[in-house]
Structures are given as structure tokens and as C-alpha cells.
């Protein structure tokens, strides 16, 4: 299969270009665009197209060069790698406001696909590369975004490397609960998990029974509540961080 989206599917009609303006973008102040000055942002916006992905639809395939980069406007995409036996391992996620794809040269080291419906602002990679080379501020900001992504990847790897099931499940919930929140703050928050119990088990290398048992245990100890199958009410972020085995999580 190929990662290449034709321009029609990426959305190049005038309607697709103007369906949502940047001024009313819900992630305008937290996305890649937020780090650009007005001139840089205007140049960046001029090349954007909008793209909707259906659940499971791919933006890029592992080890193939994709002609597109994107900013997630709404929804969640997952980054996955295939092992030698054809199994899929989720190695990271990107949420609203995140930059996805590999700029400049080289194949994408992982597959990128939608978890649920996703709306993207898509940019031709060649045009983006040219803009980053011409405007120093864009290139510097891309470096910062790349380093932030590296830090998120390290956290994800630390989560997968946890020794106990309690630490793994706690770290998984914490990854979604933190999202800019001060972990010294014990204020309750509700987290909507994009994955079901079986998917969480597959990601963490656990059985679904173990994952369910750990969720129940965290609820029993007053760390979380479970208002629905995919909702987690975090009642004590500090206790959740402690259960994850992290001294600090910032």
C-alpha cells in the first residue's frame, strides 16, 4: 500500500481550503502555528489544505516517504511500527494541536493512522521544507517541536518499560491526564481515553483481564473513578503519578 494521498483526497478545492478559517481554529494557540510570527503564519496558512480521516485510515505508512505533513486540528492519531511477525505496536500518539509527519527528507519511521474521526490541516512537504529553509524562524520552531516530540516519545517508552502492571496502567492514564496540567494540583479531571481495554492491553503488553483489574484497583484506592467505559475521572493526580512509579513527571 502507499501513503500517497492524491490532491483531491487531501482537499484542494476552494471549499476545502476555506471550510474552517485559521481565526476560529480551536488549536490556534497551542499548535505549530502558535510559535510563528504573523508573516510566517500567513505563509504557512497559504499552503494548508484540510483533510478528514476515518477511524483506522492512514496518513502515512511506515518506511515510506509521505508527501504530506499535518497539524491535528481535532481527534487523535497513533504512531505504530510493525514487528518481524507482522504485529502492530503503538509507539506514540498525537493529539489536537500536534504536528505529525517527517519534514525534509527520508521515509516516515512509523505508520500514522486515525484513532476515531480526525480532522487535519495538511501541508505539502516540499512546500513546507522550502518555507523552513527560507525563513529561519520556521526552521528554529520546527527544531523545538521536534525536541518536544522526542520528549513525549521518551515518556511513552518509559511507560512501556514499567515493570509492574499497576505502573504501566497508571502511567498510561497519566499520559492523557497530564496534558499541560500541574501534577502537584490535586484537582479532579476527566480523561476521555481513545482506546478500549483490549487496545490498552495490546499497547502495554498486558492481558485485558490485567488491565481491567488495575483500573478497578485504582478506583478502589480512590485514585480514579470510572464514569463510563472510556472515561476516567482522575481524583488525585499526585497519587496517580506516585502509582506510575515516577518521582516527577514534568
> Residue written as cell 494541536?
97
- Could you give the domains of the chain? 7-159 (2.60.120.10), 162-243 (1.10.10.10)
Summarize pLDDT for 20-40 with one digit per residue, the tens: 567 677 777 777 777 777 888
175-230 pLDDT per residue, tens: 888 765 554 555 678 888 989 999 999 999 899 999 999 999 999 999 999 998 88
Nearest-5° Cα angle at 78, 157 to 149? 55
The C-alpha cell of 206 is what?
498486558
- Give the Cα separation of 198 and 171 in Å (integer): 17
| 69-127: pLDDT as tens digits | 888 989 999 999 987 777 888 888 888 888 888 888 778 888 999 998 999 989 898 88
| Reported pTM | 0.74
**How does DSSP assign 55-81, residue by residue?**
TT-EEE-TTS--SEEEEEEEEEEEEEE
Closest CA to 32 of 100, 103, 115: 100
* Percent of the chain that is helix, strand, coil (3-state, to 5): 40, 20, 35
Sign, CA dihedral 32-37-38-41, equals negative
Predicted local distance difference test score (pLDDT) of residue 237: 86
User: In whole angstroms, what is the distance from residue 244 CA to residue 173 CA?
Assistant: 9
SS3 assignment, position 232 = strand
CA-CA-CA-CA torsion for 205, 210, 216, 218, nearest 10 degrees? -50
Residues 78, 93 contacting (CB under 8 angstroms): yes
% residues pLDDT > 70 (the chain):
85
Amino acid at each position: 500500500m502507499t501513503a500517497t494521498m492524491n490532491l483531491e483526497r487531501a482537499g484542494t478545492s476552494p471549499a476545502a481550503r476555506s471550510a474552517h478559517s485559521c481565526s476560529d481554529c480551536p488549536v490556534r494557540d497551542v499548535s505549530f502555528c502558535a510559535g510563528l510570527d504573523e508573516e510566517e503564519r500567513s505563509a504557512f496558512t497559504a499552503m494548508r489544505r484540510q483533510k478528514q480521516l476515518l477511524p483506522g485510515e492512514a496518513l502515512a505508512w511506515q518506511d515510506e516517504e509521505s508527501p504530506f505533513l499535518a497539524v491535528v486540528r481535532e481527534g487523535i492519531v497513533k504512531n505504530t511500527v510493525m514487528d518481524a511477525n507482522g504485529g502492530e505496536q503503538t509507539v506514540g500518539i498525537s493529539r489536537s494541536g500536534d504536528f505529525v509527519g517527517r519534514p525534509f527528507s527520508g521515509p516516515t519511521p512509523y505508520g500514522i493512522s486515525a484513532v476515531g474521526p480526525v480532522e487535519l490541516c495538511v501541508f505539502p512537504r516540499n512546500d513546507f521544507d522550502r518555507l523552513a529553509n527560507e525563513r529561519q524562524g520556521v526552521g528554529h520552531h520546527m527544531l523545538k517541536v521536534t525536541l518536544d516530540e522526542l520528549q513525549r516519545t521518551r515518556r511513552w517508552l518509559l511507560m512501556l518499560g514499567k515493570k509492574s502492571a499497576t505502573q504501566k496502567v497508571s502511567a498510561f492514564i497519566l499520559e492523557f491526564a497530564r496534558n499541560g496540567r500541574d501534577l502537584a494540583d490535586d484537582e479532579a479531571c476527566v480523561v476521555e481515553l481513545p482506546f478500549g481495554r483490549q487496545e490498552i492491553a495490546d499497547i502495554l503488553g498486558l492481558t485485558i483481564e490485567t488491565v481491567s483489574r488495575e483500573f478497578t484497583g485504582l478506583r478502589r484506592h480512590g485514585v480514579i473513578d470510572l464514569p463510563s467505559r472510556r472515561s476516567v475521572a482522575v481524583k488525585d493526580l499526585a497519587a496517580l503519578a506516585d502509582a506510575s512509579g515516577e518521582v516527577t513527571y514534568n
